[in-house]
Amino acid sequence: MKKKTLLSILILIAFTSCMKTKTNTKKTTSSPLNGDTYYGGSGDGSSSGGDTGGDTGGDSDGGHGDGEEDGVADGGQTQDYFTIGNISLHGTAGLNRFYPNGGPLWSSSAQLSSSDQGIFYTNSKFNVRVRAQDGPGQNTNDSRGNKCQYIANPYAKLTLDLCVRKSTGSCIYTQTFSEVPVGQVSKVKEFTIPTTSEPLVVEVLGVKWDYSCQDYVNRGYSASDPQLNGYCPMGLVWDTSCVKFDIQFSTDYTKDFPPSAPRY
């Protein structure tokens, strides 16, 4: 699949309710502020299903392909679904040096530019999935501009807590994408759309990995040992470490994930 230029994203800002998206050549582009990448087309895993505001997932999603399949138009759309790629974040376990005041670890309203907010306009459809990636390189900056000082730990799975909200106020709908293997996508979450005339906001509330459990097992512990509750099968990422993942979503103005992509 071809990657779309950032121009295709900017086009959506000026949308109207009867707007038809235009086809552009896909191209990966980078934010000038961090290492996140934004492109239309295939990307991360997503999750779907009617959301009542408290869905936390829970069961392991497993892997559901590499997330590179073509989108499907259900209303004449030509723009493929969007991917916010290469989001990297420090963990919170330990001294929690990078989020001392709490709040989301990553927010589309804060970490993306104002000109990118138009991709989050939608009236009836907002389907999301995530894709786990290998950790970022040593001495690269995370998506908030903090340096990942150490060599990435070789985790095999990530669990991500995501929230969807209006441009003002707190989280309305949440979803946990559990135990997503590196290089694979999660199921698709079909979020309920809050009533708003503004772009939606997507936030990452928490991230876990399996590396803490792997580390203990490598030292001779059993993953089922009660002492490892909170570490196995998944535990909070250390604040000295960084992880990386993609968020992918479809809206009224983009193609949707194909029916073959499993939903919650």
pLDDT for the residue numbered 65: 87
Q: How far apart are CA 152 and CA 145, in angstroms?
A: 17
Distances in Å between the Cα of 103 and the Cα atoms of 16, 56, 163 are 32, 18, 12
CB 89 within 8 A of CB 106: yes
Q: What does the pLDDT read at residue 258?
A: 97
How crowded is residue 144: how many other Cβ atoms within 10 Å of its Cβ? 17
Which residues does the chain have with pLDDT short of 70? 1-60
pLDDT at 60 (0 to 100):
67
Domain segments of the chain as ranges: 6-14+30-251
pLDDT digits (tens, 9 = 90+) for 13-32: 443 333 333 333 333 333 33
Q: pLDDT tens digits for 189-198? A: 999 998 899 9
What global pTM score does this model have? 0.80
Contact predicate 242/136, CB 8 Å: yes
- Residue 72, helix vs strand vs coil: strand
Tell me, what's the pLDDT at 63?
82
Is residue 255 within 8 A of residue 72, CB to CB? The reply is yes
Other C-beta atoms lying within 10 Å of the C-beta of residue 101:
4
